[in-house]
């Protein structure tokens, strides 16, 4: 063997060792438990440091395999991350489309040659993603399980930067890189799915909590009333005041009817909650609706000797969901009763204004401090306030009122002054049924 041949073999050995070292370093980085962008940044830095690849980009294809997006880059002055190139366009786009490595040298000279022999004065070139004056480019599709995972592109302003050996080395390097990227992308997508599922479960859990809160809030008042009646019933029975017992029977019967009605409403509503709160809109005659819901609180009103005046413009209707609207109305009435002292008054009025229906509920109760008004509709920091006769609450009533009013495309506003009273104004879409002319 001649000294020239030995020298050549030695040179090949050194080159092989260098490539092995790069391969070892890249494999080490790929096995690290760090994020994919961080991992790829380090690998591109190694390729620059050890292999002289000063300008490198890793593109990731979208799900529809139509667009490549820059996921990692090295050696560019401009921000490259997020830049896109369609499949089939430019070197990376073609490498992605054909799933084949491409190695170009003397790019601008060849383009000039093509323009000359094609009798083109000037080529209308598509702006490349990377260097505009690149003379050498190599693009390697990273394929795992026959699926395009990414495209690695390296480019240089030198005329002849990448030879066949470089290309083959990058192809070898592409295999573990592809598997690592695919695993990371799969991991990220699984994490994303877990995040989505967790968010969905949280949402369902919140809905369930709200459901229980509503049931608790709406049931507490009527059940307490009913409990009071049954105790009175027992008391009169024991004391032999049978006349009063008979009088109570009608009230107990009515309270039981109201309670059953309320339970049915709540049950219907809770069944509609399986997929969250969805409104079924209909035209609801308002006068009848308000009076029916008011009946539920008749016992409470009587017990506190609170007078109610209802004034509803004839024929008006609201376009809303019956169950959520009932919850709104019941909660507002319940609050008024709770914070109106014995012997007080509640005024309910409703009138149409074009395609809007305004409902006002005004009481002459204790009122609310103006500083507390903004917190009424917030979940955090809500605390139940006892009524004028120590009536209990859940503290979420007005939160539900606001949420359900908005679900019904309505609006709520509250004006209040301590010691004077509170006025709740609800506004919904609706109209007036015209009475047939006589």
Interacting residue ranges for another protein, rule: CB under 8 A: 89-91, 93-95, 98, 100, 102, 104-107, 109-111, 113-114, 117-118, 120, 123-126, 128, 137, 139, 159-160, 163-164
Q: Which CB atom, from 90 or from 393, has the smaller least distance to another protein? A: 90
Q: Which CB atom, from 7 or from 21, has the smaller least distance to another protein? A: 7
Q: Cα Rg for the chain, rounded, in angstroms?
A: 38
Q: Which CB atom, from 1 or from 117, has the smaller least distance to another protein? A: 117
Phi, psi of 351 (to 5 degrees): -150, 155
Q: Which CB atom, from 114 or from 278, has the smaller least distance to another protein? A: 114
CB of 97 to another protein, least distance (A): 9
Distance CA 226, CA 246 (A): 16
CB of 167 to another protein, least distance (A): 11
CA dihedral 275, 279, 280, 281 (to 10 degrees): -170
CB of 58 to another protein, least distance (A): 18
CB of 90 to another protein, least distance (A): 5
Q: Which CB atom, from 94 or from 384, has the smaller least distance to another protein? A: 94
Element (H, E) at 389: none
Determine how β-strand 421-432 pairs with β-strand 356-363.
antiparallel
Q: Which CB atom, from 139 or from 348, has the smaller least distance to another protein? A: 139
CB of 168 to another protein, least distance (A): 12
CB 298 within 8 A of CB 221: no
Distance CA 357, CA 430 (A): 6
The DSSP-derived string for 158-203 is: SSS---HHHHHHHHHHHHHHHHHHHHHHHHHHHHHHHHHHHHHHHH
Distance CA 321, CA 403 (A): 13
CB of 53 to another protein, least distance (A): 17
13's tokens: 């050995």
């Amino acid at each position: 063997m001649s000294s020239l041949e030995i020298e050549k073999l030695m040179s090949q050995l050194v080159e092989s060792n260098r490539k092995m070292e790069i391969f070892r370093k890249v494999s080490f980085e790929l096995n690290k438990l760090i994020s994919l962008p961080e991992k790829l940044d380090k690998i591109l830095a190694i390729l620059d440091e050890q292999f002289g690849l000063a300008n490198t980009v890793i593109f990731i294809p979208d799900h529809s395999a139509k667009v490549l997006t820059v996921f990692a880059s090295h050696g560019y002055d401009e921000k490259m991350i997020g830049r896109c190139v369609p499949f089939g366009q430019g070197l990376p786009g073609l490498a992605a489309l054909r799933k084949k490595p491409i190695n170009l040298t003397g790019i601008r000279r060849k383009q000039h040659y093509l323009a000359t022999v094609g009798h083109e004065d000037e080529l209308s070139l598509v702006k490349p993603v990377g260097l505009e004056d690149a003379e050498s480019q190599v693009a390697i599709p990273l394929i795992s399980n026959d699926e395009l995972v990414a495209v690695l592109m390296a480019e240089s302003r030198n005329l002849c930067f990448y030879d066949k050996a470089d290309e083959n080395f990058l192809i070898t390097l592409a295999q573990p890189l592809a598997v690592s990227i695919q695993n990371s992308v799969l991991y990220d997508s699984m994490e994303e799915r877990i995040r989505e599922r967790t968010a969905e479960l949280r949402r369902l859990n919140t809905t369930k909590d709200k459901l229980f809160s509503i049931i608790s809030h709406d049931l507490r008042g009527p059940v307490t009333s009913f409990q009071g009646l049954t105790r009175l019933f027992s008391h009169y029975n024991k004391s032999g005041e049978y006349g009063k017992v008979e009088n109570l029977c009608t009230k107990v019967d009515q309270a039981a009817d109201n309670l059953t009605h309320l339970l049915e409403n709540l049950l219907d509503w809770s069944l509609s909650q399986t997929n969250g709160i969805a409104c079924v809109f209909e035209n609801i005659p308002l006068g009848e609706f308000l009076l029916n819901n008011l009946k539920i609180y008749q016992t409470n009103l009587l017990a506190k000797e609170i007078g109610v005046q209802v004034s509803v413009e004839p024929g008006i209707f609201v376009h809303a969901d019956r169950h959520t609207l009932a919850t709104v109305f019941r909660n507002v009435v319940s609050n008024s009763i709770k914070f109106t002292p014995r012997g007080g008054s509640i005024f309910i009025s409703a009138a149409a204004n074009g395609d809007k229906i305004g409902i006002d509920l005004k009481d002459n109760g204790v009122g609310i401090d103006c500083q507390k008004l903004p917190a009424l509709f917030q979940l955090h920091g809500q605390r139940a306030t006892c009524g004028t006769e120590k009536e209990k609450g859940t503290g979420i009533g007005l939160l539900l009122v606001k949420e359900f009013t908005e679900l019904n495309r309505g609006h709520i506003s509250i004006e209040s002054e301590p010691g004077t009273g509170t006025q709740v104004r609800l506004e919904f879409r609706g109209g007036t049924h015209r009475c047939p002319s006589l």
